[in-house]
Structure 1
Amino acid sequence: MKRSIPKVLLIWLFLTVAFAADSFGQQADSTIYISVDSCPSFRYKNCRVADDCIKQFISEHLVWPDIESDMYVKVLVQVVVEKDGTLSNIRVVRGVEEWFNRKAVEIVQSMPKWTPGKKGNKIVRTQLTFPVVWQ
Structure 2
Amino acid sequence: MKKNLLLVVALFIASFASAQATATIIDDAPYNYEEVEVRPEFPGGNNELMNFIGKNFKIPDYEGSGGTLKIAFIIEIDGSITNVKVVKDLGDGTGAEAKRVISSSPRWSSGETRGKKVRVLYELPIKIASQG
TM-score by length of 2: 0.71
Which runs of no fewer than 5 residues in structure 1 stay unpaired?
A: 1-13
Compared CA separation, residues 87 and 67, structure 1 to 2 (3 A):
closer
TM-score by length of 1: 0.70
Residues 75, 131 of structure 1: 8 Å contact kept: yes
Give distance in 2, aligned partners of 1:54 and 1:80. Answer: 15
**Secondary structure class of the residue paired with 2:28:** coil
Residues 76, 95 of structure 1: 8 Å contact kept: yes
Residues 81, 116 of structure 1: 8 Å contact kept: yes
Counterpart in 2 of 1:39?
39
**Secondary structure class of the residue paired with 2:119:** strand
**Secondary structure class of the residue paired with 2:126:** strand
Runs of 4 or more, structure 1, over 2 Å off, are 24-29, 64-68, 71-74, 132-135
Quick one: which of 59, 80, 86 aligns to 1:64?
A: 59
1:13-35 deviation per Cα after TM superposition (whole angstroms, max 9, x unaligned): x9xx89x979x879853121111
Which runs of no fewer than 5 residues in structure 2 stay unpaired?
A: 1-8
Counterpart in 2 of 1:51?
46
Give distance in 2, aligned partners of 1:30 and 1:125. Answer: 7
**Secondary structure class of the residue paired with 1:132:** strand
What's the CA shift for 1:60? 0.6
Name the aligned partner's letter for residue 130 of structure 1.
L
**Higher Cα radius of gyration:** 1
Aligned residues: 123
Q: Report sequence identity in percent.
A: 23
Give distance in 2, aligned partners of 1:123 and 1:31. Answer: 12
Residues 62, 134 of structure 1: 8 Å contact kept: no
